[in-house]
């Protein structure tokens, strides 16, 4: 089926690449239907101590389903009722019955938490893994614990603990402190805000990447015997307002993290361009062009500059001058 739909999409000229067709296919044909969540009347998750997993899984659902959350053991009726989303408890993963638990998975199962399962059901899990580096860490922590997660990251357990902030601690503590959370209450409202922001970030970023990909250029530059590449996004009225924010993701999507040294993009504060290092590559030092007449800002640390120049050749010249 997938092959036939790819062919149809391309024949109609909707997209000109298989990767583009795959995104259309998966978002249109394979994404689980919203009808599974359309009639949710409540969310049930486990009582006792709360964790980032059950909090975020609930928060994601709140975006489109502003329903109460009950922290208690689910009944058999809850598990059978498709209007009750049971998260991180119940011993069952059955999206058709809106049950999303992972504790019954084998011990050596790939780290997968309740949040993973909900994102998979929404059809945005792969994009979330690509755009949210914290997600894989959260999966490991929830499924493997702090010791194994610290070893997997390559740090000691004590250092991992230092990454917690009052934001994590306070919100999780207050989520655990009540057996019910209802619309209008502070914790519920903050959770819905988080879930909405997460889902919209992931879905909008994919859309912005697809738009930006139509305009970006890869420049190959040379200084003496050394060559390097830069990623360029020109001014265009067709671009979304925050297009420059996705350039780093675009470079990674192309698999060019080791080749691209610089990003050149429209200056949000003027008609010129901003230039910055990609992955903070020290071979570029924009402080070297600080005295150029058309450079009105160059950070003393050399990682970013702003110029009023608009001509492509002039922009390339500035990059070459900054290369060392």
H, E, C per residue of the chain: CHHHHHHHHHHCCCCCCHHHHHHHHHHHHHCCCCHHHHCCCEEEECCCCCCHHHHHHHHHHHCCCCCCEEECCCCHHHHHCCCEEEECCCCCEEHHHCEECCCCCCCCCCCCCHHHHHHHHHCCHHHHHHHCCHHHHHHHHHHHHHHHHHHHHCCCHHHHHCCCCHHHHHHHHHHHCCCEECCCCHHHHHHHHHHHHHHHHHHHHHHHHHHHCCCCEEEEEEECCEEEEEEECCCCCCCCCCHHHHHHHHHHHCCCCCCEEEEEEECCCCCCEEEEECCCCCCECHHHHCCCCCEEEECCCCCEEEECCCCHHHHHHHHHHHEC
Last residue of a domain, one of 169, 184, 208: 208
User: Any residues with CB less than 8 A from the CB of 115 and at least 6 apart, and which?
Assistant: 53, 56, 57, 60, 135, 138, 139
Report the percent of the chain where pLDDT is more than 90: 77
- pLDDT value at 239 more than 80: yes
**β-bridge mates for residue 99, sequence order:** 86, 94
Query: For residue 32, what pLDDT is reported?
Result: 41
Q: 12 in a domain, yes or no? A: no
- pLDDT value at 8 more than 50: no
Query: For residue 240, what pLDDT is reported?
Result: 76
Q: 100 in a domain, yes or no? A: yes
Q: Are residues 132 and 41 in the same domain?
A: yes
Query: For residue 37, what pLDDT is reported?
Result: 62
CB contact at 8 A, 250 and 205:
no
Q: Please report, for residues 80, 106, 251, 286, 292, the alpha-carbon distance to residue 320 in angstroms, rounded to integers and kept in the order given.
A: 65, 54, 20, 10, 13
Query: For residue 34, what pLDDT is reported?
Result: 44
Q: Are residues 173 and 252 in the same domain?
A: no
Mean of pLDDT values over 90-115: 97
Q: Are residues 62 and 171 in the same domain?
A: yes
- pLDDT value at 2 more than 90: no
Q: Are residues 275 and 175 in the same domain?
A: no
Last residue of a domain, one of 173, 208, 243: 208
The band of 38, judged by pLDDT with boundaries at 50, 70 and 90, is low
Reading the block at residue 176, the tokens are: 């655990």
Q: 6 in a domain, yes or no? A: no
Of the candidate ranges 32-46, 113-127, 308-322, the one whose mean pLDDT is the lowest: 32-46
Q: 3 in a domain, yes or no? A: no
- pLDDT value at 320 more than 70: yes
Q: Are residues 153 and 77 in the same domain?
A: yes
- pLDDT value at 26 more than 60: no
Q: Are residues 51 and 179 in the same domain?
A: yes
pLDDT tens per residue, range 220-232: 999 999 999 999 9
pLDDT tens per residue, range 277-311: 999 999 999 999 999 999 999 999 999 999 999 99
Give the structural domain span for 46.
35-208
Q: 13 in a domain, yes or no? A: no
The band of 3, judged by pLDDT with boundaries at 50, 70 and 90, is very low
Mean of pLDDT values over 128-156: 95
Q: 28 in a domain, yes or no? A: no
Q: 197 in a domain, yes or no? A: yes
Reading the block at residue 51, the tokens are: 């964790």
- pLDDT value at 100 more than 50: yes
Mean of pLDDT values over 103-132: 96
Torsion of CA 287, 292, 298, 300, to 10 degrees: 40
Q: Are residues 69 and 87 in the same domain?
A: yes
User: Any residues with CB less than 8 A from the CB of 180 and at least 6 apart, and which?
Assistant: 68, 69, 70, 71
Q: Are residues 148 and 104 in the same domain?
A: yes
Q: Are residues 193 and 220 in the same domain?
A: no
Number of domains in the chain: 2
Q: Are residues 84 and 226 in the same domain?
A: no
The band of 18, judged by pLDDT with boundaries at 50, 70 and 90, is very low
Instruction: Tell me the residue length of the chain.
Output: 324
How far apart, in whole angstroms, are the C-alpha atoms of residue 83 and residue 67?
11
Query: For residue 4, what pLDDT is reported?
Result: 43
Q: Please report, for residues 90, 111, 112, 238, the alpha-carbon distance to residue 140 in angstroms, rounded to integers and kept in the order given.
A: 21, 5, 8, 40
CB contact at 8 A, 195 and 56:
yes
The band of 128, judged by pLDDT with boundaries at 50, 70 and 90, is very high
Reading the block at residue 258, the tokens are: 């080791």
Q: Are residues 204 and 219 in the same domain?
A: no
User: Within 10 Å of residue 38's Cβ, how many Cβ atoms?
Assistant: 11
The band of 105, judged by pLDDT with boundaries at 50, 70 and 90, is very high
Q: Are residues 146 and 204 in the same domain?
A: yes
Comparison of pLDDT for 38 and 197, the residue scoring more: 197
pLDDT tens per residue, range 240-265: 777 888 999 899 889 999 999 999 99
Average model confidence (pLDDT) for the chain? 89
Q: 2 in a domain, yes or no? A: no
Query: For residue 291, what pLDDT is reported?
Result: 97
- pLDDT value at 122 more than 50: yes
Q: Interhelix angle for 52-62 vs 114-122, to 10°?
A: 20
Last residue of a domain, one of 175, 208, 241: 208
């Amino acid at each position: 089926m997938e092959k036939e739909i790819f062919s149809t999409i391309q024949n109609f000229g909707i997209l000109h690449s298989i990767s583009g067709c795959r995104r259309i296919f998966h978002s249109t044909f394979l994404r689980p239907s919203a009808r599974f969540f359309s009639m949710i009347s409540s969310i049930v998750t486990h009582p006792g101590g709360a964790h980032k997993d059950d909090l975020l899984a609930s928060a994601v659902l709140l975006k489109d389903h502003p329903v109460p959350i009950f922290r208690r053991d689910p009944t058999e009726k809850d598990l059978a009722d498709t209007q009750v989303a049971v998260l991180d408890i119940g011993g069952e993963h059955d999206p058709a019955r809106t049950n999303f638990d992972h504790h019954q998975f084998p011990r050596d199962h790939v780290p997968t938490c309740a949040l993973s399962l909900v994102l998979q059901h929404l059809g945005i899990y792969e994009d979330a893994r690509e755009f949210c580096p914290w997600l894989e860490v959260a999966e490991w922590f929830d499924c493997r614990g702090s010791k194994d997660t610290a070893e997997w990251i390559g740090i000691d357990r004590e250092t991992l603990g230092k990454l917690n902030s009052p934001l994590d601690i306070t919100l999780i503590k207050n989520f655990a402190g009540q057996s019910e959370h209802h619309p209008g209450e502070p914790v519920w409202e903050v959770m819905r805000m988080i879930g909405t922001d997460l889902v919209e970030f992931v879905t909008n970023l994919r859309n912005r990447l697809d738009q930006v990909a139509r305009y970006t250029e890869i420049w190959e530059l040379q200084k003496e015997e050394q060559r390097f590449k830069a990623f360029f996004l020109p001014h265009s009225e067709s671009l979304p307002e925050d297009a420059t924010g996705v350039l780093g993701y675009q470079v990674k999507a192309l698999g060019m993290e080791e080749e691209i040294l610089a990003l050149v993009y429209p200056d949000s504060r003027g008609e010129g361009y901003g230039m910055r290092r990609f992955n903070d590559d020290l071979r570029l030092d924009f402080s070297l062009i600080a005295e150029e007449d058309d450079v009105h800002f160059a950070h003393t640390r050399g990682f970013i500059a702003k110029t009023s120049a608009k001509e492509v050749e002039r922009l390339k010249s500035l990059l070459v001058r900054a290369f060392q």
